[in-house]
Amino acid sequence: MKSAVIVFPASNCDRDAATALESLTGQKTKMVWHQDSELPDVDLVVLPGGFSYGDYLRCGAMANQSRIMGAIKAHAAKGGAVLGICNGFQVLTESGLLPGALMRNAGLKFVCRDVALKVEETQSIFTRKYDKGQTVVFPVAHGEGNYYADDATLDRLESEGRVVLRYRDNPNGSARDIAGIVNEKRNVMGLMPHPERVVDPLTGGTDGRALFQALIETLS
């Protein structure tokens, strides 16, 4: 599987994502600057966590204006896989690649800790190696992770099986405990927790490994 990680100004999890991918694929991950206009020939594009553009205006709003976003949208439209983690999830909602928005945490405080998640759906290229109903533990680190969408959108996500991860103990006030969703084609996923930080037991656990292994098996 060939992969690329997008680097925005103030990204701080881009190297984490690349390291996780390289450790599991055995291949070099392409690091793509946000003002590049084209993507390399890759199967997976990762929008990493961090504070793109310092989170000015709204989280992800300025990153959505970056030149590379046109190529990412084209990649997704052709069926290419896109994974947005934390700030990357915020960018995906700002770009319209995923519905809804990420607001300030309900407690108005930055949350940084491990959280338990329920795997709601396994019918996606991202979650197919988990068991439905399985509990996994990923870390979160965000101040604006409170997922919001109107009731009609939430009902549609639920009825179409597009809520793939749900918080067991909601840390941020997200509607219906939503932690991760996919688009209609199920080739774009956004989630606030960080699977790339739990692929090695030396750095806290391996619950995130199956997400990347599923992508590798599907896209290789």
Active site residues: 86, 194, 196
Q: How far apart are CA 84 and CA 196, in angstroms?
A: 11
Let me know: does 82 contact 75? Beta carbons within 8 Å: yes
Ramachandran quadrant class, 83 (left: phi over 0; alpha: psi -120 to 50; beta: rest): beta
CB-based burial label for 120 (10 Å; 0-12, 13-18, 19+): buried
Query: What distance in Å separates the CA atoms of residue 178 and residue 118, rounded to the nearest whole number?
Result: 10
The answer to whether residues 146 and 102 touch, using CB atoms and an 8 Å cutoff, is: yes
The answer to whether 67 touches 100, Cβ cutoff 8 Å, is no
Query: Torsions phi, psi of 172, nearest 5?
Result: -140, 0
The position carrying tokens 């491990």 is 114
> Are the CB atoms for 67 and 25 separated by under 8 Å?
no
User: 55 and 37 in contact (C-beta within 8 Å)?
Assistant: no
